[in-house]
Amino acid sequence: MTRIVVIGAGPAGLAAAASAAGAGADVVLVDEGERTGGQFWRHHPALTDPRMQHQLGRFGELQQALAGVRTMSSTSVWRVEAGEPLRVHALTGPVDDAQRRGETLEADAVVLATGAHDRVLPVPGWTLPGVTSAGAVQALAKRDGVALGTRMVVAGAGPFLLPVAQSAALLGVEVVEVIEAATTGTLVRGWGRRPWELTAAAGKAGELGSYAASLVKHRTTYRLGSAVTRIHGTTSVEAVTISRIDSDWRPIPGTERIVECDSVALGHGFTPRLEAAIQFGCDITPDRFVRVDGQQLTSIPGVHAAGEITGIGGADAALAEGAIAGLAAAGVPGADLRYRKPLAARRRMRAFAQRLQTHAIRPGWTAWLDDDTVVCRCEAATAASLREYADASSRGMRLATRAGLGPCQGRTCGRSVEDIIGAASGFDRRPVLSSVRIGELAAHRNTHE
């Protein structure tokens, strides 16, 4: 029986585990969260408002299909190894627990479905209490029914801003404005090009309609071609400066205005979690995604990838890719009819995924930074210090500024640092994928000698 480890229990991972188990494989599903579902189906049985969830029926189907699958929740993968067999080293238990249980999983195939985290561009004042990522606002709302503040501005780029605004409004927050960086012309060119291609993703129209209805109901202003370029306050958020920006995301002088608020949700797209794929040795594309073939196989034998790490495309694309990856990892021949439905869904969603590039970050955003704007929050590295060492080696820059050397290891600031210095810095390449205690490393060594 083929042994498969699936890393990540979001839509892609759940679909991969379900299809692999259905094909007769011995599957282990590993995830950091307390419950399966990932960011898309983040939930709490008693606290989650069902109006914030989409495709709950599909989630229920996947849970039923995984009834016999070993699921390791609250489990951090800290190292992976290519070879025969493939190895996944994991620690189970709360991340702050000194008694986590270590285990090494051996597999014939691994499906990487590690997803992405939302990216937040630094803004002067973004370290004030009351400022958080759009994903954090959504997570608090979905899982805990907790609102951030009472008067919020949601700003950044991409469709994800809309469900964040809707979730906050459902909790009674006054969402003053939703600020989208893409200009009207950019949106028309991006989403209006060959519109018939989007009919295959018609299910998204219903979601868009519910978000638009929420904006109208709560009288929330939605502005294009703008950005929050400064956040004001003494001990917490009191207001923001919103500026018009050009197509390169540079602030247009003279367009600034002040909007009072007590909370800000920032989200500028998503960054794929590539660490495990890179540690396996998988090829990465120039635009920083995992390269896969038609069966979601990476360049490393036995290692498949699905979901946002192969390209940001949303839950429907992730479900399709996960199902394909699970079947392929289980050794199901490519001509098998079980591929037909997910392959068709993957083709349908590609046009939608390509349109998301309409909201891609433009290089002019660095113009809204002050010299003393903190970029790396863990180590308080400022924009000025990064620019001072922009010509140094990657190692030299990090040693001089400490950027990326804090607890998050560059997960939050890495891409922004690279934009500011104009060079890649290798933040995705880590010998250890998650935080590990010295004692846990020692225990691992003792059990593997």
Question: What is the per-residue pLDDT across 348-407, written as a single tens digit (0 to 9) for each?
Answer: 888 888 888 889 999 999 999 999 999 999 999 999 999 999 898 888 898 899 998 888
Asked if 202 and 222 touch (Cβ cutoff 8 Å), the reply is: no
CA separation, residue 18 to residues 25, 109, 176, 326, 331 (Å):
10, 15, 42, 7, 14
Over residues 109-131, the pLDDT tens digits come to 999 999 999 999 999 999 999 99
Q: In whole angstroms, give the CA distance from residue 185 to residue 224.
A: 10
* CA-wise closest residue to 240 among 147, 149, 167: 149
Asked if 181 and 226 touch (Cβ cutoff 8 Å), the reply is: yes
Say what the pLDDT of residue 112 is: 98
Q: In whole angstroms, give the CA distance from residue 10 to residue 256.
A: 40
Q: In whole angstroms, give the CA distance from residue 180 to residue 104.
A: 44
Average pLDDT over all residues of the chain: 92
Number of H-type helices and E-type strands within the chain? 13, 20
Confidence of residue 302 (pLDDT cuts 50, 70, 90): very high
pTM of the predicted protein model: 0.93
275 contacts: CB under 8 Å, gap ≥ 6: 114, 428, 429, 430, 433
Sequence ranges of the chain with CATH classification 3.50.50.60: 3-117+270-332, 121-267
Over residues 322-360, the pLDDT tens digits come to 999 999 999 999 999 999 999 999 998 888 888 888 899
* CA-wise closest residue to 331 among 366, 301, 356: 301
Asked if 151 and 174 touch (Cβ cutoff 8 Å), the reply is: yes
Q: Which two tokens stand for residue 361?
A: 């970050």
* Stretch 54-70: mean pLDDT: 90
Is the CATH number of domain 121-267 3.50.50.60? yes
* Stretch 29-40: mean pLDDT: 91
Asked if 444 and 430 touch (Cβ cutoff 8 Å), the reply is: no
What does the buried/exposed string (b/e) look like for 320-347 if buried means 16 or more CB atoms within 10 Å of the residue's CB? bbbbbbbbbbbebeeeeebbeebbebbe
Q: Does residue 315 surpass a pLDDT of 70? A: yes
Give the count of beta carbons closer than 10 Å to the beta carbon of residue 112. Answer: 34
The count of residues in the chain is: 449
Is the CATH number of domain 3-117+270-332 3.40.630.30? no
At 255, the amino acid letter reads T
Confidence of residue 198 (pLDDT cuts 50, 70, 90): low
Asked if 133 and 240 touch (Cβ cutoff 8 Å), the reply is: no
